[in-house]
Structure 1
Amino acid sequence: MSGSEETKPTTTGLLPASHWKSLNVEEDDHSDASSFASSNASSTTSLRDSILEYRKILGRTYHHELGDAENWTPNDDKHTESMELVHYLTLVAMKNKLFHAPLNTDKLKKVLDVGTGTGHWAIDFGDQYPNVEVTGTDITPIQPAWTPPNVSWEIDDANQDWTWPENTFDFIHVRYLMGCIRNWKKFYQDAFRCLKPGGWLEHHESSSSWYSDTEGVGPDHTVAEDSPVGQTVKIFQSSGERIGRTFRVFEDELQQKLMKEVGFVDIGFKNYDVPIGSWPEDPEQKQLGILGGEALLGDLEGYMLYVLTKVEGWSEDEARTFTAHVRAQLRKPGFNPYFKRRAVWGRKPE
């Protein structure tokens, strides 16, 4: 999607692509994230062949168009590895729990995982609860062919009307869909309708903002907006405005606000700080940071290129130059970056 085809965003403080071409990259190292870790010590269809016709953009593959479904991250092997690391990172942050909601697991029958990605959460849940029917949905079929017998996959765009009958699921799990959903209130309304009375929705989301206790500004330690990492916040805000799919789910507290608006009760939440790199002294946080560094820096261009080129209209060279600046700042000794994530859960009244 070309940026020129969309309404120009109103984001302030966004520096032009030419700004980064004029600056030297402090560290022009495109090696994988393992060196960083050590050095920084809903139309539904069955899976079918036509869906495997992926698009190629700048040498990366993106999901096949399903209606007007669109995703800003690739679905190739390189990015799949990053997604798998994000799953393990989330498990470490949650102390190996798969959910926070106070589920009565003895009474669970049907569970839905929306935006299942690589399917690891659905598989883990199905393994842990073999008597529960688990369905994972996504717009791209990158899930493994082998699954537990109680786990299945469906191609589905959560922006479309959900096709499941009312009162179908006991638990709906959602994770990391910022920049993907056009109308979050409708999304929650669909989830509410498809849950059984007494059923739970749990939604995990990450901040698009970055923080640093050593170089952050203001009381919340946000990274300076004129820095490369700070500019990513502006860029994703701008892109969200262009495509009508916000990246500010965390910042605008949409999970809590909209879940309450559509009727969920007993809403709870938990916030996490997620470091990038092995800089934390606490062993658990260090492990989290190593996973975060490998997940992000192992495919930083995968997270950046589509937004910069197809949405913001930058050239490939401009996008790769800016990404190199971002990588250098994230790897800068003493920078100590982290982002935040929030899990929110709520119950459909009985």
Structure 2
Amino acid sequence: MDPANEFSTPIVTLAEWMGSKAPPNTPRPAVVVIPGAGGGTGSRANNSGHHGRYDSGCEMDDEENSDLVTISSEVTNIIWENGRRYHSYKEGRYPFPNDPLEQEREEILHHLFEKLLGGRLHMTSLDNPQTILDLGTGVGRWAVCMGYLYEDAVITGLDLSPIQDRYIPPNVGFVIDDIEDTWVDPPGSLDFVFCRNMSTSIRDWKRLFRQAYNAVSPGGWIEVQDLHWAFRCDDGTMPADWAPSILIDKIREGLRAMGIEMFAPTMHVHHAEAVGFTNLNATARRIPVGAWARDSELKDIGRLVRDVLCVGLHGMAIGPLTRGLGWSPERVQLFLVQVREGLMDHSVHACIYFHCLSAQKRLGSN
């Protein structure tokens, strides 16, 4: 079986995506790109007067094209571990699966974030954005929705896995890249940088904010949305040995062994200010875990949080606990039985926080 057939998205090389005009030494990542099916070759460059992640067009010789084909196989190869499928490009960089079960969790997360924002896709007030970058786009749902909402904008989603849908607006494209590598976006070329649900993935948040600041145009924005998974309880109903809380502690410990701090949302404001962003609007909303709340809206939100956990439980735990802490897969599975039981116990009134930060690059900034 062709490994690429495991993925829903057609794999296209950077040469096909960029056309035939950019300088031969144009910087690029591992350069597998998935453009919108309706846009055709070079659609990003043709849909806007602004540059996307790459300058429009690129004439590459046969040697360069052969290099791209080699890298394409690196992206589409399949890695199986403990019954889950993982990305092959930058293997091990992202500690969670990319298989259909994980994609289902991402879809639930998208619905949850929409509920938390009152049906909106972002908190930032945008004025006719032309270039939008979605960091860690995953299945690409947010990028696709933004493509329909802002038809004159060019939206680019970045991810390590080619798992995005093939049926997308012509102004949306996906690039396989590592967002913690050095960015190739020209300074001031982006109007809006968006990052969601990446607290369990990023190793150097300060560098990410710095690179975003350099790439954003004066007056442009960054928005970071994240769930802070530290369970809290105000009424004493959460036991000290509640299995879901213990699991989060263990996942955090395992991720730390990989260089990732999953409780990073509390530091986003500090990092944004440190690199020069202004007009910061930061919110932290307490939300229930499970359907125990009396308010109907909070009850629905709590169900979605529980569903995110239940659907994604194995995928969230298996990598950090086996790779980071050296647990056996069998030990993980046995512990997850207790965790699922704990999540279905409505007598425990646990909460987490939803963090959202919007920040602007000052007008006149270099």
1:163: Cα distance to partner?
1.1
Residues 1:138 and 2:189 aligned together: no
TM-score (norm 2): 0.78
Measured at CA, do residues 304 and 273 of structure 1 come closer, stay the same or move farther in structure 2, by a change above 3 Å?
Answer: same
Contact kept? 2:255, 2:320, Cα under 8 Å: no
Match of 1:147 in 2: 168
Q: When the two structures are superposed, what TM-score results if normalisation uses the length of structure 1?
A: 0.81
Check whether the contact 2:318–2:332 (CA below 8 A) recurs between aligned residues.
Answer: yes
1:85 Cα deviation from its structure 2 partner: 0.5
CA RMSD of aligned residues (A): 1.7
Query: Counterpart in 2 of 1:266?
Result: 279
Cross-structure match for 2:228: 207
Retained in 2: the 8 A contact 1:330–1:337?
no
Are residues 1:75 and 2:75 paired? Answer: no
Give CA deviations for 1:250-288 in whole Å, capped at 9, x if unaligned. Answer: 2xx210000000000011112222323222221111221
Tell me what 1:183 maps to.
204
Relative to structure 1, the CA distance from residue 133 to residue 204 in structure 2 (aligned partners, 3 Å threshold; closer, same or farther) is: same
Contact 1:114 1:174 in 2 (8 A): yes
1-structure distance, mates of 2:157, 2:344: 35
Letter in 1 for 2:105: S
Matched, 1:230 2:245: yes
CA deviation after TM superposition for structure 1 residue 179, in Å: 2.6
Q: Which contiguous aligned blocks of 4+ residues in structure 1 show a shift greater than 4 angstroms? A: none
Between the aligned partners of 1:129 and 1:261, the Cα distance in structure 2 is 30
Partner of 1:157, secondary structure, is: coil
Shift of 1:238: 1.6
Structure 2 partner of 1:249: 264
Contact 1:69-1:157 within 8 A present in 2 as well? no
Q: What residue is the counterpart of 2:37 in the other structure?
A: none
Is residue 225–residue 234 contact of structure 1 (8 Å, CA) maintained in 2? no
How many angstroms apart in 1 are the aligned matches of 2:205 and 2:303? 32
| CA distance in structure 2 between the partners assigned to 1:224 and 1:44 by the alignment | 47
Paired letter, 1:270: T
1:46 to 28, 32, 36: 32
Distance 2:252 2:73 in 1: 35
Alignment map for 1:106-145 (pairs within 5 Å): 106=128, 108-145=129-166
- What amino acid sits opposite 2:93 in the alignment? E
> 1:307: Cα distance to partner?
1.0
Amino acid at match of 2:195: V
Mind listing any 5+ residue stretches in structure 1 that lack a counterpart? 1-41, 217-222
Structure 1 206/174 Cα, relative in aligned 2: closer, same or farther at 3 Å? same
Q: Give the letter for the 1:43 counterpart.
A: P
Q: Which structure 2 residue ranges, 5 or more long, are not aligned?
A: 1-27, 34-71
Residue identity matched to 1:112:
L
Native 8 Å contact 2:75 2:88 kept in 1: yes
Q: 1:196 aligns with which of 191, 196, 217?
A: 217
Contact 2:227 2:355 in 1 (8 A): yes
**Rounded Cα–Cα distance in structure 2 between residues aligned with 1:77 and 1:100:** 29
Provide, for residues 322-342 of structure 1, a one-character-per-residue CA deviation record: whole Å limited to 9, x for no partner.
111111111113113332110
Q: CA deviation at 1:225?
A: 5.0
Provide the C-alpha distance between the structure 1 equivalents of 2:255 and 2:96, rounded to a whole number of angstroms: 14
Contact 2:288 2:351 in 1 (8 A): yes
How far off its partner does 1:71 sit?
1.4
How far off its partner does 1:300 sit?
Answer: 1.1
The letter for the 2-side match of 1:74 is: P
The CA distance in 1 between the partners of 2:290 and 2:262, in whole Å, is 23
Aligned residues of 1:89 and 1:291 also touching (Cα < 8 A): yes
Quote the Cα distance in structure 2 between the aligned partners of 1:124 and 1:312: 38
2:308 equivalent to 1:295: yes
Residue 79 (structure 2) pairs with residue 93 (structure 1): no
Report SS of the residue matched to 1:118: coil
Residue 335 of structure 1 aligns with which residue?
348
Query: Shift of residue 44 of structure 1?
Result: 4.8
1:75-126 deviation digits (Å, cap 9, x = unpaired): 000110011000001001100111111221x3x1100000111111111111
Please identify, of 123-132 and 280-289, the stretch whose mean Cα deviation from structure 2 is larger: 280-289
SS in 2 for 1:209: strand
| Deviations 1:3-34, CA, capped at 9 Å, x for gaps | xxxxxxxxxxxxxxxxxxxxxxxxxxxxxxxx
Q: Which moved more, 1:175-184 or 1:232-241?
A: 232-241
Question: Which sits farther off after the overlay, 230-239 or 186-195?
Answer: 230-239
SS at match of 2:166: coil
Bigger mean CA deviation after superposition, 288-297 or 232-241 = 232-241
| Displacement after TM superposition at 1:53 (Å) | 1.1
* Residue identity in the other structure for 2:148: D
Structure 1 position 160, deviation (Å) = 0.6
In structure 2, distance between residues paired with 1:103 and 1:143: 25
For the residues of structure 1 that align with 2:180 and 2:351, how far apart are their CA atoms?
30
**Which amino acid counterpart does residue 257 of structure 2 have in structure 1?**
R
Which residue is equivalent to 1:21? Answer: none
